[in-house]
Amino acid sequence: MDSSTVIELSARLRRARRLTVVTGAGVSAASGVPTFRGPSRLWRSFRPEDLATPEAFGRNPRLVWEWYDWRRSLIAACLPNPAHEVLARWSHRDGFTLITQNVDGLHERAGTRGVVRFHGSIWELRCAPGCRNDSWEDRTVPLAELPPRCPRCGGLARPGVVWFGESIDPRVLARSEAALDCDVMLSVGTSSVVYPAAGLVQAARARGAFVAEINPATTDVAGELDLAIAAPAEEALPRLDALVNGMV
């Protein structure tokens, strides 16, 4: 980890009145949650983008639920890591917004305030046919019944996540748009491949934000960055936090 880059970013973070952080699967990697493009991404030889679609659910809701039930059981056994913990502390700063693509709920479990769940939550269910029942939280692992049913109309329930081909909740988009007016936009642990989430970095930059990334690998937004720290989030964020708070 290049210390001059870390020192420069920590100085910008200390000065920032408005800080927006966008996270992806890489921030939960150290907790044991498989990433989407990493080596352990396949489930029974299915690619995530094969199962996380309304079409796949239409074809075989039981198969899709078996995948979500597997992921829920796996995530339930995971704990937030130092990257989550630093971001949870920063969420108590004024002018801080965390936008996550992760549906695992680990930011919330670390105590992060006001998380913007860009792609929903794996712990929320809603009625697939869409009866008037609102979405509900269900943390049972494994689920008692596969596929689970809507408690109000008995119809199929579906995971409260955004599938490929589905639009982002307009309220979530509005909160994310508002957070693009920031002094620093920090992208952590995302390959920046999936849109519209991957467009947030460019949009913040277009509004004058200083844009930085924490990722051991080079990503698709490399050309849009003012600064990149090629390191794991669970190492880089505690280091930055110590510098920002003058502990080193």
Q: Could you give the CA distance from residue 182 to residue 202 in angstroms, rounded to a whole number?
A: 13
State yes or no: residue 29 binds ligand BV8 (CB under 6 A): yes
Query: Looking at 119, 185, 200, 225, which residue binds ligand BV8 (CB under 6 A)?
Result: 119
Rounded-to-10 torsion of CA 171, 27, 138, 120: 20
State yes or no: residue 166 binds ligand BV8 (CB under 6 A): yes
State yes or no: residue 219 binds ligand BV8 (CB under 6 A): yes
- Spot the catalytic one: 84, 92, 107, 119: 119
Contact residues for 175 (Cβ-Cβ < 8 A; gap 6+): 97, 99, 116
Phi/psi region, residue 144 (left: phi>0; alpha: psi -120 to 50; beta: rest), is alpha
**119 is known as an active-site residue:** yes
Contact residues for 217 (Cβ-Cβ < 8 A; gap 6+): 191, 230
Between 38 and 208, whose beta carbon lies closer to ligand BV8?
38
Contact residues for 234 (Cβ-Cβ < 8 A; gap 6+): 30, 81, 82, 83
State yes or no: residue 22 binds ligand BV8 (CB under 6 A): no
State yes or no: residue 46 binds ligand BV8 (CB under 6 A): no
Query: Looking at 110, 197, 221, 225, which residue binds ligand BV8 (CB under 6 A)?
Result: 197
- List residues near ligand BV8 by CB under 6 A: 24-26, 29-30, 35-38, 49, 52, 101, 103, 119, 161-167, 189-191, 193-197, 214-217, 219, 232-234
Q: Which residues are known catalytic residues?
A: 119
